[in-house]
Amino acid sequence: MYEFLQYRVQDAMTPEPIAISPKAKLREAETLFEIHDFNGVPVVNEQRHLIGILTKFDLLKAFSFDFHTLIPHYDEIMEQTIETVMTPYPASVEPQLPLSRLLQKLVEMRAKSLPVVDEGRLVGMIAREDVLKALRRAAIQHETPTHEESRS
């Protein structure tokens, strides 16, 4: 498992992930969620700088109402722009962060995934599943004997 300590976020992340504009409609985000089974999609400006994240929870919040208002109409809500319901300036990590530190951060935050940014620009996404794959890969490497060990 020592190998895991050498891994960095950049070794396990999904590079250049799908992102969405803050001016896009919620309908577009819903389609992304359906097609790709994302839990969240990064929101970026024209220079691909991370300015927010839209999660499925954010999408659900757009439909929340109190008992003093009418139930919102589905089509009206889906025409709202992402910037109206996104979580602005979300937590993020840098590509050089050790995966062991990322693991702690994911656990502490109870996060499913985090955007990876380099100088403010979105360069990747890292999810719980990516960390689990890296742990599994490190365990397999640890269990596989080296050429010298197998000759003994």
Per the structure, how many domains does the chain have?
A: 1
What are 107's two structure tokens?
Answer: 């656990």
What is the rounded CA–CA span in Å between residue 103 and residue 69?
A: 42
Q: What's 53's domain CATH number?
A: 3.10.580.10
First CA to last CA across the chain, in angstroms? 22
Tens-place pLDDT, residues 63-101:
887 666 667 788 989 999 999 999 999 999 999 999 999
Q: Which residues span the domain enclosing 50?
A: 2-151
> How sure is the predictor about 55, in pLDDT bands with cuts at 50, 70 and 90?
very high
Render 108-132 in DSSP notation, one character per residue. Answer: HHT-SEEEEEETTEEEEEEEHHHHH
**pTM (2 d.p.):** 0.84
